[in-house]
Amino acid sequence: MYNLTVTKGGLKLKPMDEGGCIQRDPTKGYNTEEMFPPGQKPQCVGWLHMNGPDWVIDAAGQELGHLAGALSNTLNRHVFDNTGVTGLFSYHLQFAHDETTPGNFPPEIMERFFPPSDVPSGPSIFTVLEGLGLKLEPTKGPQGIMIIDHIERPSEN
Protein backbone atom coordinates (compact mmCIF):
# COMPACT_ATOMS: atom_id res chain seq x y z
CA MET A 1 0.00 0.00 0.00
CA TYR A 2 1.00 3.60 -0.45
CA ASN A 3 0.04 6.92 1.11
CA LEU A 4 -0.12 9.85 -1.29
CA THR A 5 1.37 12.79 0.62
CA VAL A 6 2.67 16.30 0.00
CA THR A 7 6.46 16.74 -0.13
CA LYS A 8 8.28 19.05 2.28
CA GLY A 9 8.55 21.61 -0.53
CA GLY A 10 4.75 21.87 -0.70
CA LEU A 11 2.14 21.15 -3.34
CA LYS A 12 3.01 22.62 -6.75
CA LEU A 13 -0.30 21.60 -8.31
CA LYS A 14 -2.56 24.65 -8.46
CA PRO A 15 -6.30 24.38 -7.70
CA MET A 16 -8.61 24.64 -10.69
CA ASP A 17 -10.32 28.00 -11.20
CA GLU A 18 -14.05 28.10 -10.48
CA GLY A 19 -15.88 27.01 -13.62
CA GLY A 20 -12.68 25.57 -15.08
CA CYS A 21 -14.51 22.55 -16.44
CA ILE A 22 -17.95 21.68 -17.78
CA GLN A 23 -20.12 19.23 -15.87
CA ARG A 24 -20.48 15.98 -17.81
CA ASP A 25 -23.99 14.84 -18.68
CA PRO A 26 -24.24 11.46 -16.86
CA THR A 27 -26.96 10.28 -19.27
CA LYS A 28 -24.43 10.31 -22.13
CA GLY A 29 -21.61 7.89 -22.62
CA TYR A 30 -17.96 8.83 -22.49
CA ASN A 31 -16.74 10.40 -25.71
CA THR A 32 -12.98 10.84 -25.40
CA GLU A 33 -12.92 13.57 -28.07
CA GLU A 34 -15.41 15.64 -26.04
CA MET A 35 -13.75 15.07 -22.65
CA PHE A 36 -10.64 17.20 -23.28
CA PRO A 37 -11.23 19.22 -26.50
CA PRO A 38 -8.15 21.22 -27.57
CA GLY A 39 -8.46 24.91 -26.79
CA GLN A 40 -11.78 24.51 -24.94
CA LYS A 41 -12.94 23.81 -21.41
CA PRO A 42 -12.69 20.12 -20.59
CA GLN A 43 -15.46 18.10 -19.03
CA CYS A 44 -15.19 17.56 -15.27
CA VAL A 45 -13.89 13.99 -15.52
CA GLY A 46 -10.89 11.84 -14.75
CA TRP A 47 -9.55 9.44 -17.36
CA LEU A 48 -6.87 6.76 -17.08
CA HIS A 49 -5.60 5.71 -20.49
CA MET A 50 -2.49 4.76 -22.44
CA ASN A 51 -0.26 6.69 -24.84
CA GLY A 52 2.36 4.58 -26.59
CA PRO A 53 4.41 2.85 -23.87
CA ASP A 54 3.07 5.13 -21.11
CA TRP A 55 0.16 5.46 -18.74
CA VAL A 56 -1.72 8.77 -18.82
CA ILE A 57 -4.04 10.24 -16.21
CA ASP A 58 -6.01 13.25 -17.44
CA ALA A 59 -8.32 14.98 -15.02
CA ALA A 60 -10.35 18.17 -14.74
CA GLY A 61 -12.30 19.20 -11.66
CA GLN A 62 -11.12 16.25 -9.59
CA GLU A 63 -10.05 15.88 -5.95
CA LEU A 64 -6.69 14.34 -5.14
CA GLY A 65 -8.61 11.27 -3.96
CA HIS A 66 -9.37 10.61 -7.64
CA LEU A 67 -5.65 10.65 -8.36
CA ALA A 68 -5.06 8.17 -5.53
CA GLY A 69 -7.71 5.87 -7.04
CA ALA A 70 -6.20 6.06 -10.53
CA LEU A 71 -2.76 5.35 -9.09
CA SER A 72 -4.17 2.30 -7.30
CA ASN A 73 -5.10 0.91 -10.73
CA THR A 74 -1.65 1.47 -12.25
CA LEU A 75 0.47 0.51 -9.23
CA ASN A 76 -1.67 -2.54 -8.46
CA ARG A 77 -1.59 -1.47 -4.80
CA HIS A 78 -4.00 0.52 -2.68
CA VAL A 79 -3.14 4.23 -2.63
CA PHE A 80 -4.66 6.39 0.09
CA ASP A 81 -5.01 10.17 -0.21
CA ASN A 82 -3.20 11.42 2.89
CA THR A 83 -2.41 14.84 1.46
CA GLY A 84 -4.90 16.72 3.62
CA VAL A 85 -5.49 18.92 0.56
CA THR A 86 -9.03 19.86 -0.42
CA GLY A 87 -10.24 21.41 -3.63
CA LEU A 88 -10.53 20.49 -7.27
CA PHE A 89 -7.61 20.15 -9.65
CA SER A 90 -6.87 19.65 -13.32
CA TYR A 91 -3.80 17.70 -14.34
CA HIS A 92 -2.18 15.66 -17.08
CA LEU A 93 0.26 12.98 -15.93
CA GLN A 94 2.19 10.77 -18.33
CA PHE A 95 4.51 8.16 -16.89
CA ALA A 96 6.20 4.89 -17.76
CA HIS A 97 4.42 1.57 -17.73
CA ASP A 98 7.13 -0.36 -15.92
CA GLU A 99 7.61 -2.84 -13.08
CA THR A 100 6.40 -0.27 -10.52
CA THR A 101 3.21 0.48 -12.51
CA PRO A 102 2.14 -2.87 -13.95
CA GLY A 103 -1.61 -2.21 -13.85
CA ASN A 104 -4.18 -4.60 -12.48
CA PHE A 105 -5.58 -6.00 -15.70
CA PRO A 106 -5.09 -9.56 -17.00
CA PRO A 107 -1.74 -10.07 -18.77
CA GLU A 108 -3.35 -10.62 -22.18
CA ILE A 109 -5.04 -7.20 -21.97
CA MET A 110 -1.84 -5.50 -20.81
CA GLU A 111 0.06 -7.04 -23.73
CA ARG A 112 -2.56 -5.69 -26.14
CA PHE A 113 -2.44 -2.17 -24.67
CA PHE A 114 1.33 -2.09 -24.20
CA PRO A 115 2.89 -4.00 -27.11
CA PRO A 116 6.68 -3.97 -27.43
CA SER A 117 7.78 -0.56 -28.72
CA ASP A 118 10.92 1.29 -29.78
CA VAL A 119 9.42 4.53 -28.42
CA PRO A 120 11.18 5.47 -25.18
CA SER A 121 8.91 5.51 -22.15
CA GLY A 122 8.28 8.52 -19.97
CA PRO A 123 9.61 9.15 -16.48
CA SER A 124 8.60 7.01 -13.51
CA ILE A 125 5.43 7.84 -11.59
CA PHE A 126 7.61 8.79 -8.62
CA THR A 127 9.44 11.43 -10.68
CA VAL A 128 6.21 12.82 -12.14
CA LEU A 129 4.57 13.11 -8.71
CA GLU A 130 7.66 14.75 -7.23
CA GLY A 131 7.36 17.47 -9.87
CA LEU A 132 3.86 18.21 -8.51
CA GLY A 133 5.01 18.29 -4.89
CA LEU A 134 3.53 14.85 -4.17
CA LYS A 135 5.08 11.54 -3.17
CA LEU A 136 4.10 7.95 -2.58
CA GLU A 137 5.15 6.60 0.80
CA PRO A 138 5.07 2.82 1.28
CA THR A 139 2.85 1.75 4.17
CA LYS A 140 1.27 -1.37 5.57
CA GLY A 141 -2.36 -2.03 6.28
CA PRO A 142 -5.01 -4.72 6.34
CA GLN A 143 -5.64 -6.70 3.21
CA GLY A 144 -9.13 -7.73 2.27
CA ILE A 145 -9.75 -11.45 2.01
CA MET A 146 -12.79 -13.46 1.06
CA ILE A 147 -13.70 -16.72 2.78
CA ILE A 148 -16.10 -19.05 0.99
CA ASP A 149 -17.68 -21.38 3.50
CA HIS A 150 -20.24 -23.02 1.22
CA ILE A 151 -20.77 -23.56 -2.48
CA GLU A 152 -23.35 -25.54 -4.45
CA ARG A 153 -24.59 -25.79 -8.01
CA PRO A 154 -27.52 -23.52 -8.88
CA SER A 155 -30.93 -25.11 -9.15
CA GLU A 156 -32.80 -25.17 -12.47
CA ASN A 157 -35.26 -22.34 -13.10
pLDDT of residue 85: 96
> Other CB atoms closer than 10 Å to residue 147's CB: what's the count?
4
Strands 54-62 and 46-51: antiparallel
How far, in Å, CA of 90 to CA of 124, rounded? 20
The pLDDT tens digits for 7-23 are 999 999 999 999 999 99
Indicate whether 84 pLDDT > 90: yes
Indicate whether 127 pLDDT > 90: yes
Q: Report domain extents, the chain.
A: 2-138
User: What predicted TM-score, i.e. pTM, was given to this entire model?
Assistant: 0.81
Strand spans (E) along the chain: 2-6, 46-51, 54-62, 79-81, 89-96, 134-138
Q: Which of 3-12, 73-82, 134-143 has the least mean pLDDT?
A: 134-143
The pLDDT tens digits for 51-75 are 888 999 999 999 999 999 999 989 9
Indicate whether 35 pLDDT > 80: yes
